[in-house]
Amino acid sequence: MATVQTSRYNRSITLEEQKLYDHLLYWIELESPSEMILRFQTLFINGVGYPDFEIAQALKKVVNSNLAVEDYRYVLNRCCHILINRWQSSRTQSQMAVPALMKLFETPPHTSISAIHSPAVRRLHHLTKQFVETEQYLTLRRLAQVLTEAAESQAGHRPLGTLIRRYPYLYEHCLLGEESTQEQKVTVHQIQAVRQRQFEIDLSQYVTYQVRRSQQIHLPNALKSQRIIPPVANPTLLTEQALSQAIHHYVGKVEGSRTHKDIALNFLTQVGPASSIRSFKDDLYQYITASVDPEYGNRKFNNQLYYHLQNSLPDGSQQRLNDFILIRTCNHLL
């Protein structure tokens, strides 16, 4: 197959792949999410009955390529992101189609008995099953979870992974990998900015509400009845008391006139690019344990933290620190 050179993933994009991408980019502008999901299912999941013969043949060539075992995951991942990027940028509820798109990979393909015997169809189904085991698919599932506005009344009983959407500060580390495309990065950063801003607004409104409530307590009863304060929901999963304690702890002064943010920024300034990975891990250990209650830390926590840090990136201790290593080390701790 003819190819177009690209630096992405240090591999080439074939002309057949580009046909698939252009095809989806064309139809995503014309069809509803439900129509696009059906189109995607027919082409990539079922592998039979697709109305556009040229596109079906392009996919067949991609699937039958000698490099498909390694490269098809990138193709399918980008095809998914073409749909997700368009839906995410929409101001309608179309972004809620993302979880439905991911569910296609959990659904057995709708294929006739005769079609199952086709080598190309069997290979497509096999490659799709392999895709479900990849980091690309896991990242897509996390992204779908972030975009899902499902009720969270039972959040305390749900796996931690299903709560990622509540923590936009972790999106970059949980939803992107070393092989993420520029399109994926833009999408995740856009979602992160929107969610982070909304959380800040919700938290600010809630804190204002609590302050007004506390002020109202000291008012005469006659004035209380005249000042009705509309309730504001707690935007976190913490109790009212726990959230109040957390706000006072992290916003208040902890070392003289310095806040936690001041201390963190000072730490980042000290561990600049001249530091080695080993010295960074030592400094990070000191930084974390300094804020841990000594009685608690001396039991197990300090030792466990030390060995955990030492075992992360053990082969590169003499290398110089960079942003990637810093983020990777911190993400490893999480």
Instruction: Report which of residues 26 and 199 the model is more confident about.
Output: 26
Rounded to an integer, what distance in angstroms lies between the CA atom of residue 65 and that of residue 316? 37
* 250 and 284 Cβ atoms separated by less than 8 Å: no
Residue 276 phi, psi (nearest 5):
-85, 165
User: What pLDDT does 223 receive?
Assistant: 65
How confident is the model over 129-182, as pLDDT tens digits?
A: 999 999 889 888 888 888 775 434 444 455 555 677 788 888 887 788 777 778
pLDDT, tens digit, 9 for 90 and up, residues 245-303: 888 777 766 666 777 778 888 888 887 766 788 888 888 888 888 878 888 888 888 88
Tell me what the mean pLDDT of segment 47-57 comes to.
95
Cα separation, 114 vs 121, whole angstroms: 10
Which residue type does 210 have? Answer: Q
- The domain locations on the chain are 3-149, 252-334
Average pLDDT of the chain is 81
E-strand ranges in 151-276 read: 253-255, 258-259
pLDDT(189) > 50: yes
User: Distance of CA 310 to CAs 284, 307, 317, 328, Å?
Assistant: 11, 5, 9, 14
pLDDT at 7: 38
Q: How does DSSP assign 66-90, residue by residue?
A: TTHHHHHHHHHHHHHHHHHHHHHH-
Q: What is the pLDDT of residues 87-100, one digit of tens each?
A: 877 655 676 788 89
Residues ≥6 apart with Cβ < 8 Å to 75: 17, 20, 62
Question: What is the Cα–Cα distance from 158 to 80, expressed in whole angstroms?
Answer: 26
Token pair listed for 213: 């409530």
The better pLDDT of the pair 307, 173 is held by: 307
Is residue 199 pLDDT above 50, yes or no?
yes
Nearest partner of 327 among 167, 174, 162, judged by Cα: 174
Distance from C-alpha of 57 to C-alpha of 52, rounded to nearest angstrom:
9
Higher-scoring residue by pLDDT: 231, 152: 231
- pLDDT-derived band of residue 8, with 50, 70 and 90 as boundaries? very low
The per-residue pLDDT for range 311-320, each reduced to its tens digit, is 876 656 677 7
Burial of 77 from C-beta contacts in 10 A (0-12 / 13-18 / 19+)? buried
> How far is the C-alpha of 196 from the C-alpha of 192, rounded, in Å?
6
- E-assigned strand segments in the chain: 3-5, 12-14, 253-255, 258-259
Is the pLDDT higher at 314 or at 35?
A: 35
Cα–Cα dist 15/21, whole Å: 10
